[in-house]
Amino acid sequence: MRGRTAGRAAGLGVMAGAAALTLLCATAAQAEGRGDVRVTKTVVNNGNNVIIGTTARVTYPIAITIRDNSGAKGLTRVSVFSKSKGWGFSDWTGTRCEKKSSTTSVCTATMTVAPGWLPDSVPGDINTIAGLWQVNATVKANDGDYWISDDIAEFKMKRASKLTTDATPEPVAKGASLTIKGKLSRANWEDLKYHGFTGQTVKLQYRKAGAEHYSTVKTVKTDSSGNLSTKVTVTAAGSWRYFFPGTTTTARVVSKGDAVTLK
């Protein structure tokens, strides 16, 4: 289903079983209302990025601190949008408010995304709205005051990624050459599959047997299919892995280590 929806937070339902994805269109940032109720702090997903893959339903919190001289009553609207595209997907599925004082409460909205809702849910390629997002909310106080607050927080909504490492031959003679292959792929929200992530710089890391930490040995770039391949000279037994630091739209990922022993 494609098509634009007018207004500050008009909804377009995309049904997935009993759940509905709400497609929202953002307008220019603004704040308006009545009285002294205000949002003083907003934290999305405990300060972490929100990572969406191809199958697993993702639930994340938005903790909104509300202050009013009569006390905070709660939330009447919460929505999230891409900063650059003005579109968003997340279903507001619940709210829990905790009173901190006579004037202040923290209301935590639960947001949910099921990847199966996403294909064809926005105009064009939905992958383009990965990146920087904003939070909008309307809050109310016990005395009837309300405040419509746009852009009260920013966060990153990113595409999930996968990374593999395979070192051969195993075992290997000391001083011999070891080939280390791997693949970097990321979630495509259009077809709900993982595709190779091309042209990305990935770090090859090594941990000597018995050591606690990995260190970077070199950087390797993915080819047109997301594949990685490089050679190193073996000086001791240890584990090898690839590490991708992520981008503004794609999550960081570390592969499992591949332990290599000496002949």
pLDDT of residue 121: 84
pLDDT of residue 197: 98
pTM: 0.87
Q: Please provide residue 144's backbone torsions phi and psi, each rounded to the nearest 5 degrees.
A: 95, -10
Count CB neighbours of 191 within 10 A.
Answer: 10
Pairing assessment for the beta strands 253-254 and 177-188 based on DSSP bridges:
unpaired
pLDDT of residue 24: 52
Contact (Cβ atoms closer than 8 angstroms) between residue 52 and residue 113: yes
- H or E segment to which residue 38 belongs: strand 38-44
Q: What is the SS3 assignment for 129? A: helix
pLDDT of residue 48: 98
Q: What is the mean pLDDT of the chain?
A: 89
Residue 141, CB half-sphere, CA atoms under 13 Å: how many? Answer: 22
Contact (Cβ atoms closer than 8 angstroms) between residue 12 and residue 123: no
pLDDT of residue 127: 96
| pLDDT < 70 stretches in the chain | 1-31
